Chain A
């Protein structure tokens, strides 16, 4: 190629390159957001179950205490 020649038209490859970059980056960011949302949901559910279990345990221990107090 002579120095004065116009550069070859390789713009389609440039567009393809940047499109690939944006697609892969977008997929990764969406995957992060989805995983973050799922973990948050799990956290909320588990915290609710833990609270319920604590309440149940408290309720179960109260009547026993009352019964033992009445006997005395």
Chain B
């Protein structure tokens, strides 16, 4: 077994520390929002996890393009790692949004353009793993996966811009919101610190998880190769 690189060990520690600071800023440092109360604090992690989700889906599409160009399996491993991490974080985003919506919109879920496109994006990436499970040949699996993530990545800008293009009740925190949006608020400086640090912290966490997950994928590929060698 390969020992963990020192840089990755440092990144592991940095991720834990960044998460701890992000929690402090979100729960204690940032001021309480006047109309929504404490539930507004969910927003810091809601946006940060959404950012990681979208970042990973884009990274998966880039890895997909790299695989199609080079046919190098390392890009397939990176693609799977990115999709897996992002699917988990994007699921957290949807659940956090639903919890925030209950006291603010008086409902857990509504078929608003943003919520609908986000749900579709999540389902697209859950289906990605089903597709991979259904293909036996590793080369075909990697090729299908690459094309799928490339097409699936179209859902990312659609989800991002849905609140800017369609009439929606979902708030737009940065930029102008639809007048019918419910739960919009102005970010005071204390909130901005918590918000931008959460984005930074989750970016570090994503890189750390991504690196760890790629190493796991590489080891799994070695195991598969050893199995094949022993069978022949």
* Partner-B contacts on A (CB < 8 A): 1, 3, 7-11, 13-14, 16-18, 20-21, 24-25, 28, 32, 35-36, 39-40, 42-44, 46-47, 49-50, 53
Contacts and interface: CB of A to CB of B under 8 A. Distances in A.
Given A14-B39, A21-B49, A50-B230, A43 B1 contact: yes
A36 B219 CA distance: 9
Interface string B21-45: 0010001000011111111111001
B226 A50 contact: yes
Which of B23, B36, B212, B223 counts the most chain A CB atoms within 10 A? B223
B103 interface: yes
A47 B229 CA distance: 11
Contacts of B103: 8, 10, 13
Nearest to A6: B37
B38 A46 contact: no
Name the prevailing secondary structure of the A interface residues: helix
Which of A3, A17, A32, A53 counts the most chain B CB atoms within 10 A? A17
A11 to B, nearest CB: 4
9 contacts: A7-B32, A8-B37, A9-B38, A10-B37, A10-B39, A11-B39, A13-B42, A13-B99, A17-B99
Nearest to B23: A18
B216 interface: yes
Contacts, number: 92
Name the prevailing secondary structure of the B interface residues: helix
A53 B231 CA distance: 11
Nearest to A28: B88
B173 interface: no
Contact of A7 (B36, B49, B96): B36
Contacts of A13: 38-39, 42, 99-100, 102-103
A47 B1 CA distance: 11
A43 B32 CA distance: 52
A8 B36 CA distance: 6
Contact of B92 (A9, A24, A40): A24
